[in-house]
Structure 1
Amino acid sequence: MTVNTGRVHSWDLSTGVDGPGTRFVLFVSGCPLRCLYCANPDTWHLRDGKPTTVDEVMAEIDKYRAFVTTAGGGVTITGGEPLLQSAFTAEIFRRCKEAGLHTALDTSGFLGARADDALLADADLVLLDIKSFDIGTYRKLTGGELAPTLSFATRLDRLGVPVWIRYVLVPGWTDDETAVDALGAFLAGLRNVERVEVLPFHKLGTHKYDALGIPVPLRDTPVPDLALTERVREQFREHGLRSF
């Protein structure tokens, strides 16, 4: 099913954090999870996004097409959760591929079943956010279940879609050595994982919670120091994974 209109929060240009090269990053609205460390609570609700057509998105992308292409980049769709609007996301990717643009899907994988094979065929890269490898911690941290993400990861491996794993390091939540080691072993069994990005927890979205009148769940949680961050990266490297 083709969907020509979706709900968009915003767009931006970025380098180095949303896939290779300089990226046109589209933030779509709506997310089924409520991650305690989420930096974008303003993207949670589908209703808060601006109705936007695929043609409007492509017209905006076209303004920067030469720039991002020259810079070795492309288009990344993030959110929110892009697979909450899977048909809209699929149509944008289809149009991007027609235009010769590199595409990246940034997703938690929780709604991976909504991504049909055609959408994934048009995704040059998936940035897969695995929040925790401990089932109980995952549930407390996100409000969701881990199993759909792991199922999506194995499906991406079966389809041969390149994946960059994104792992947010939160002291007291996702730094457990046993859980990190188990995740490393799982990822080492996949053939399509190109890298594991360990992303230190930050509090840059605190002002958004305050503006929305929403309590900041991890306001008093410290950010990880360099030693802890490097320890976790090294754990992934011990499984033969490239980790940054």
Structure 2
Amino acid sequence: MTAWRTVQGRLHSWDVSTGVDGPGTRFVAFTSGCPLRCLYCHNPETWRLRDGIPATAGEVLDRAAGFRRFLEVSRGGFTVSGGEPLLQPAFTRALLTGARELGLHTALDTSGFLGARADDDLLAATDLVLLDIKAWQPTTYRGLTGGELTPTLAFARRLAGLRKPVWLRFVVVPGWTDDAEQAAGIAEFAAALGNVERVDVLPFHRLGVPKYERLGLRFPLDGVAPPTAEIVERVREQFFAAGLTAV
């Protein structure tokens, strides 16, 4: 039996999606557990590792194999998301390795905060990294996420050194990341890396509010409205000006 099949982890859920989790149609495995507490998080049900469903990598990949032809035709693949996949590095490595053996394009969706846990074998099995840089100023990052920015930047530089393709993600949050300085700093940093293929500029939304209500939690950004289309376009233009493709 292939060694990766028996690696155990905790899975929140899985889904098949198009356009948001990497190129083409993707089988997305959402792992449980996350060390950050982003104020705008729309999946609070994934925070705690213990709330996940026990599963082996083989069980997850057997499910994905049923969609293999569909994924191949759409030029899609397999994405490990979360939560934060690098909270369970062995499980994530096994999922990516198994997906590669199925012949699928692989993607890792991460904040980079736990990037040091991604060993060389895990990254060797990863075709694309979807990397969230949530803010540029360290104090803003800490206030927005509860974590530190430095590990994410170090991980981004490591990926650049490996020439690993990256799609950068940046969420525009009014009052937090919508000022010009935030986008300008990230744009300059990303342009210098040389491996950022595109930047997804994502407007903050309130679609996760009902989940907070069901969990008996207060939504931290209650009362904050999504950014205007003009602000989102200005942020995109800042990435364009740095020579990056922004969508």
Distance (whole Å) between structure 2 residues aligned to residue 224 and residue 25 of structure 1: 28
* Residue in 2 that maps onto 1:19: 22
Gaps of 5+ in 1: none
- Residues paired across the two proteins, number: 244
Indicate the residue corresponding to 2:198 in structure 1.
Answer: 195
1:139 aligns with 2:142: yes
Deviation string, structure 1 residues 175-234 (Cα, Å, up to 9, x no partner): 111121111111110110000110010111111100000100012111011111000000
Q: 1-side partners of 2:60 and 2:124: how far apart?
A: 20
CA distance in 2, matches of 1:146, 1:66: 39
Paired residue for 2:220, among 202, 206, 217? 217
**1:91 aligned to 2:94?**
yes
Counterpart Cα distance in 2 of 1:162 and 1:190: 10
Q: Write the distance in 2 (CA, Å) between the matches of 1:101 and 1:237.
A: 31
RMSD between aligned alpha carbons?
1.0
The alignment status of 1:29 with 2:32, answered yes or no, reads yes
Q: Distance in 2 between matches of 1:123 and 1:58?
A: 15
Q: What is the TM-score with the length of structure 1 in the denominator?
A: 0.98
> How far apart, CA to CA, are the structure 1 residues paired with 2:125 and 2:103?
11
Query: C-alpha distance in 2, partners of 1:96/1:10?
Result: 17
For the 8 Å contact 2:170–2:202, the answer to whether it is kept is yes
Q: Which residue type is aligned with residue 131 of structure 1?
A: K
- In the aligned structure 2, how far is the partner of 1:34 from the partner of 1:24? 25
Q: Aligned AA for 2:237?
A: E
- SS state of the match for residue 109, structure 2? strand
Distance 1:238 1:55 in 2: 45
Letter in 2 for 1:15: T
Match of 1:78 among 78, 81, 85: 81
Paired residue type of 2:81:
T
Question: What is the distance in 2 between the residues matched to 1:179 and 1:170?
Answer: 11
8 Å contact kept, 2:65–2:102: no
Alpha-carbon distance in 1 for matches of 2:110, 2:187: 19
Q: How far apart in 2 are the matches of 1:77 and 1:171?
A: 29
Matched, 1:234 2:237: yes
- Separation in 2 of the partners of 1:85 and 1:139? 23
Letter aligned with residue 22 of structure 1: T
Give me the identity figure in percent.
60
Q: Secondary structure at the match of 2:36?
A: coil
Which of the numbers 131, 141, 153 marks the counterpart of 1:150? 153
Distance 1:75 1:179 in 2: 31
Q: Distance in 2 between matches of 1:161 and 1:153?
A: 9
1:208 aligns with 2:207: no
Q: What is the one-letter code of the residue matched to 1:26?
A: A
Which secondary structure state, in structure 2, belongs to the residue aligned with residue 189 of structure 1? helix
Moved over 3 A (4+): none
Q: Which amino acid aligns with 2:232?
A: T
